[in-house]
Chains A and B, each alone.
Chain A
């Protein structure tokens, strides 16, 4: 963001320079083929310029060997690019297990980010340098797309579903953050900054703003406020399935299928509880659609995630 007239974006994430090297390889390839083809065209244009009342040249019908060479060689080159790009894409789309989680909500024409430690911010994202960070995204209305050019990555943000984007910042500084999927009138205004800070600064920033408690703590209060614990207890005869350690576990449903209880599953079970019913329980849970906002949803999910050890004092 600093120099007045940059010609190349800053590389500020772990896979930024991988993408750049692939990009330069492709540029080199394109320059080579462009120069080859332009050169040949211009050379032939002058070398075989039509002389006045010259006879037509001898016809050349074709040559299978030549045809095969200029189909197979481009095919091999493209396969190299495919594999190289595919591997990097796989890496770009699978966040490491130890990634720190931040929640992001796209809403018509603004970004809201929620740090589990309780800090929330609008159109700004503070992340520590060097730590893999995964942002779990959802939208409250239309399609959006979180795009951070300096990190060379973007991911669409869909309504009704979670998508995720991950990066490991490698350089401190402030970088652009854009919305890259057309979302209406102020699509151009839905942008902000990503500030990469040293871990110490980040920790200081995190608990800098007082009064806002951790996300799972707010989630716990919401859990009580919506009286979830009346059904979801740890005793065997409780009406709802126990939620301890349920996050990312395999849940057997009453139609014989097992599904992974990830964020999407928890979100769907809160908004449309009857869509997937756990084995051995009946469909009595009311829907909370419209009563719980997206923000509260991710706080409750964060609380459910924190239920690792058996609960002691749920009253």
Chain B
């Protein structure tokens, strides 16, 4: 077993300061990896608590107040502290500069500042939890959040406000890096699709996040200084908050899914040894999703008292935004056609993504369709839909990406059998958790209910059983990946024999990534050129 005796970015400095004051985008990615995993564990704990509570219709595990705080914290932690930063801040931070042939991000200091701001936001959320938690739901709808709630809304609002800046700084860093630091020869249409997806996601981060920041601050100002912008007693519009909130929060779900789609394109290309079919269509569909994503926020408000005509406008636009996602899935299928497919762990996660994301996307059509949404709005049908996209899509792609680039990040391979095993367990556990929720949703079980009528119990018991399998499934990788740090097989620079700049440098890569700036001469993913 060859020893890793070279100098690389991990052993290029020891001691806490070399990590907490690092400017190296790869080390910052590791900082994000560890903290994001901790937040995921905390959010997951709340999820398990919720599922246990819903095991019985009587709601006798915790009080209503505590249950409301649990699902609120589950929402806030998972959305703002894991799903939005996960793939961009961990995989994006690590790989983007390498993939475009740069030595680091455009603004390394901003990159580190974004991690500190992310932790500061997390601190505010912990303080809010310590002081009693918040029970407004992760959506903070007014007038409950601004006038009637008596829980820690202001501190949590500040936590979300601060974390928003971490997302803005990451997005800004990506945009400038991709625009100005591509290696010579790396034209826009030679960029890996991973970079295209992160470019589109960064556009949303930069254009959308400030709107939720000001909205959250206005809610805090209304609670602190009676600036009653959302106060219906003064004639304020009870729906204005929802407009401002969803203008960001719907594009936010595209911030989560676009990087996942970027990871997918990389996995499908490498493990079927074929260039992505219709490269330019997949790249431009990322941009189309980013732009169209900003036009559709009203489909969260079909029954909110919004005007019927606006409902029709948002419904047709929501159908339009579904088309680019469909194009991507069909192009991935076409890439598999006549490929040379090897079912290693990342590819199993990729297949899991295609399966679950397709179901998530198709159920999205149910919600864009006005008449069905009137019935299923705010029921478990919606909970199941967005979990299929966020957990089925984003987290499957995230785990696939972690496994695919693990040899590059740590220089060691993960155990192959355990990898496949945990992927299958997660896939089974996931479907058992969320398929019953579609059924109980259409039956009319509203979301955010502490207790429910008896006839929904069996479906909820199934869902809780699935959740425990899913919970175990997520813990297995934690063990064997940590195990692999010490005992994993040493992976050379290119264990998958894949194309792409990140596979041309040693793993783990040196701090400088490349000595001198690489020259790019060939297309992205040009497998199979030995024929020509």
Interface residues of A (CB under 8 A from B): 1, 3-9, 15, 18-19, 22-23, 26, 29-30, 33-34, 37-38, 40-41, 44-45, 48-51, 54-63, 66-67, 70-71, 74-75, 78-79, 81-82, 84-86, 88-90, 92-94, 108, 141-143, 145, 147, 149-150, 152-156, 158-161, 163, 176, 178-189, 272
A3 CA to B377 CA in the complex, in Å? Answer: 24
List residues of chain B with CB within 8 A of the CB of A94.
308
A94 CA to B311 CA in the complex, in Å? Answer: 14
Check if B316 sits within 8 Å of A82, measured CB to CB: yes
Q: A187 with B343: in contact, given A86-B370, A160-B238 (CB under 8 Å)?
A: no
List residues of chain A with CB within 8 A of the CB of B147.
142
Our count of residue pairs bridging A and B at CB distance below 8 angstroms stands at 294
A44 CA to B351 CA in the complex, in Å? Answer: 11
Check if A81 sits within 8 Å of B458, measured CB to CB: no
List residues of chain A with CB within 8 A of the CB of B442.
8-9, 23
Kindly provide the distance from the CB of A135 to the nearest chain B CB, expressed in whole angstroms. 14
Check if B232 sits within 8 Å of A62, measured CB to CB: no
Q: A44 with B370: in contact, given A37-B333, A159-B238, A180-B446 (CB under 8 Å)?
A: no
B 307-344 to A, binary, CB cutoff 8 A, 1 in contact else 0 = 01001100110011011001101110110111111110
B 231-258 to A, binary, CB cutoff 8 A, 1 in contact else 0 = 0110110110000000000000000000
Kindly provide the distance from the CB of B125 to the nearest chain A CB, expressed in whole angstroms. 19
Kindly provide the distance from the CB of A269 to the nearest chain B CB, expressed in whole angstroms. 14
* Given A23-B375, A86-B371, 11 more pairs with CB closer than 8 A: A29-B365, A41-B336, A41-B354, A81-B365, A85-B368, A86-B316, A90-B308, A92-B371, A149-B444, A159-B143, A176-B444
Q: A38 with B446: in contact, given A50-B340, A81-B365 (CB under 8 Å)?
A: no
Check if B235 sits within 8 Å of A160, measured CB to CB: yes
Pick out which of these stretches binds chain A: B8-16, B269-277, B418-426. B269-277
Most chain B beta-carbon neighbours within 10 Å: one of A26, A37, A163: A37
| Cβ contacts A to B, 5 pairs, < 8 Å | A7-B443, A19-B375, A44-B333, A48-B338, A60-B338
Pick out which of these stretches binds chain A: B76-84, B391-399, B448-456. B448-456
Pick out which of these stretches binds chain A: B88-96, B355-363, B406-414, B510-518. B355-363
A55 CA to B497 CA in the complex, in Å? Answer: 12
Give B319's nearest chain A residue, CB to CB: A78
Q: A160 with B233: in contact, given A5-B455, A86-B312, A153-B374 (CB under 8 Å)?
A: yes
Give A175's nearest chain B residue, CB to CB: B444
A85 CA to B299 CA in the complex, in Å? Answer: 13
* Total count of chain B residues near the partner, CB < 8 A: 97
A8 CA to B442 CA in the complex, in Å? Answer: 7
Check if B143 sits within 8 Å of A143, measured CB to CB: yes
Kindly provide the distance from the CB of A49 to the nearest chain B CB, expressed in whole angstroms. 6
Check if A26 sits within 8 Å of B369, measured CB to CB: yes
Check if A185 sits within 8 Å of B378, measured CB to CB: no
List residues of chain A with CB within 8 A of the CB of B527.
56-57, 59
A143 CA to B236 CA in the complex, in Å? Answer: 13
Give B146's nearest chain A residue, CB to CB: A142
List residues of chain A with CB within 8 A of the CB of B530.
55-56
Check if B372 sits within 8 Å of A19, measured CB to CB: yes
Check if A45 sits within 8 Å of B351, measured CB to CB: yes
Q: Which 5 A-B pairs have the closest CB atoms?
A: A149-B444, A89-B370, A88-B371, A85-B369, A56-B528
List residues of chain A with CB within 8 A of the CB of B322.
74, 78
Check if A1 sits within 8 Å of B369, measured CB to CB: no
Check if B340 sits within 8 Å of A58, measured CB to CB: no
List residues of chain A with CB within 8 A of the CB of B320.
75, 78
The B430-477 residues at the A interface (CB cut-off 8 A) are: 439, 442-444, 446, 448-455, 458
In the assembled complex, B39 has its CB within 8 A of some CB on chain A: no
A188 CA to B443 CA in the complex, in Å? Answer: 16
Kindly provide the distance from the CB of A162 to the nearest chain B CB, expressed in whole angstroms. 10
Check if B531 sits within 8 Å of A22, measured CB to CB: no
Give A40's nearest chain B residue, CB to CB: B333
List residues of chain A with CB within 8 A of the CB of B338.
48, 57-58, 60
Kindly provide the distance from the CB of B345 to the nearest chain A CB, expressed in whole angstroms. 14
List residues of chain B with CB within 8 A of the CB of A38.
355, 358
Check if B337 sits within 8 Å of A33, measured CB to CB: no
List residues of chain B with CB within 8 A of the CB of A161.
232, 238, 305
A49 CA to B336 CA in the complex, in Å? Answer: 10
Check if B378 sits within 8 Å of A58, measured CB to CB: no
Give A69's nearest chain B residue, CB to CB: B330
In the assembled complex, B64 has its CB within 8 A of some CB on chain A: yes
Check if B448 sits within 8 Å of A182, measured CB to CB: yes
Q: A185 with B68: in contact, given A62-B277, A89-B312 (CB under 8 Å)?
A: yes
A201 CA to B68 CA in the complex, in Å? Answer: 40
B 97-140 to A, binary, CB cutoff 8 A, 1 in contact else 0 = 00000000000000000000000000000000000000111010
In the assembled complex, B148 has its CB within 8 A of some CB on chain A: yes
Check if B305 sits within 8 Å of A156, measured CB to CB: yes
List residues of chain A with CB within 8 A of the CB of B342.
49-50
Give A153's nearest chain B residue, CB to CB: B374
List residues of chain A with CB within 8 A of the CB of B369.
22, 26, 81-82, 84-85
Kindly provide the distance from the CB of A253 to the nearest chain B CB, expressed in whole angstroms. 17
Check if A56 sits within 8 Å of B340, measured CB to CB: yes
Check if A182 sits within 8 Å of B141, measured CB to CB: yes
Pick out which of these stretches binds chain A: B203-211, B278-286, B290-298. B278-286
Q: A6 with B443: in contact, given A59-B274, A79-B319, A147-B378 (CB under 8 Å)?
A: yes
